[in-house]
Amino acid sequence: MKATVTVMLKQGVLDPQGEAVRHALGALGFDGVEGVRQGKVIELDLAEGTTEETVRAMCDKLLANTVIESYRIEMGA
């Protein structure tokens, strides 16, 4: 069983890496990029029967800094 966790900075939190990517894209001639938010994707291989509630606890305790980051969980087969 797999779970995919996408972690992003919350809206309103400064994203210096995203801003650096936006600036670099403009310098490379890619006009029209008005904003970039950079995050991380974590793929978990889980034992059968692991619940989304367990994955949420993993996020709250380790995988995401919930003060400044939000996360989305996708459970798969």
Give pLDDT tens digits along the chain (77 positions): 999 999 999 999 999 999 999 999 999 999 999 999 999 999 999 999 999 999 999 999 999 999 999 999 999 96
**Tokens 């996708």 — which residue?**
74
CA distances from 27 to 16, 20, 32, 33 (A): 16, 10, 12, 11
Rounded CA-CA distance 3/1 in Å is 7
> Cα separation of 52 and 69, whole Å?
18
Domains and CATH numbers, the chain: 2-76 (3.30.1280.10)
C-beta separation of 41 from 20 below 8 A: no
